[in-house]
């Protein structure tokens, strides 16, 4: 959302520059100030960011270019569409055991 003020150009709040190739899709969650943003890229990664701080929360590497990305309504899963038409599901709530 941009408040149009013709006296100056708007400045970005965050620059999401951790992809090495162009971003193909961006999806913003529905959690208001706590929202997360997911980006997909031709660099075969999907990245999840915290909207309020711009901090990178998660990076997932795939075997192919990812063309689209979205969260499920509860934001427990991330769905990533590959160039070949496959859809990958990534759990955002699973715990990693060590």
pLDDT digits (tens, 9 = 90+) for 15-64: 777 888 998 999 998 877 788 999 999 999 999 999 888 899 999 999 99
Supply 95's token pair.
């715990």
Q: Provide the H-helix boundaries in the chain.
A: none
Q: Strands of 56-61's sheet, edge to edge?
A: 23-28, 36-41, 45-50, 56-61
- Given this model, what pLDDT does residue 12 score? 72
- Given this model, what pLDDT does residue 7 score? 78
- Given this model, what pLDDT does residue 97 score? 52
Query: Which is more confident, 2 or 31?
Result: 31
SS3 88: strand
Q: Alpha-carbon torsion 31, 1, 71, 92, what sign?
A: negative
Interatomic CA distance for residues 29 and 14, integer angstroms: 16
> CA-based angle 42:45:46, to the nearest 5?
110
């Amino acid at each position: 959302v941009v408040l149009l003020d013709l006296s100056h150009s708007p400045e970005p709040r965050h620059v999401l520059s951790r992809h090495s190739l162009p971003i193909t899709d961006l999806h913003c969650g529905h959690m208001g100030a706590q929202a997360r943003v997911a980006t997909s890229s031709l660099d075969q990664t999907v990245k999840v960011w915290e909207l309020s701080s711009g901090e990178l929360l998660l990076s997932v590497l795939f075997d192919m270019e990812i063309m689209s990305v979205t969260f499920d309504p509860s934001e427990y899963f991330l769905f990533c569409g590959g160039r070949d038409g496959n859809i990958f599901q990534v759990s955002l709530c699973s715990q990693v055991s060590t």
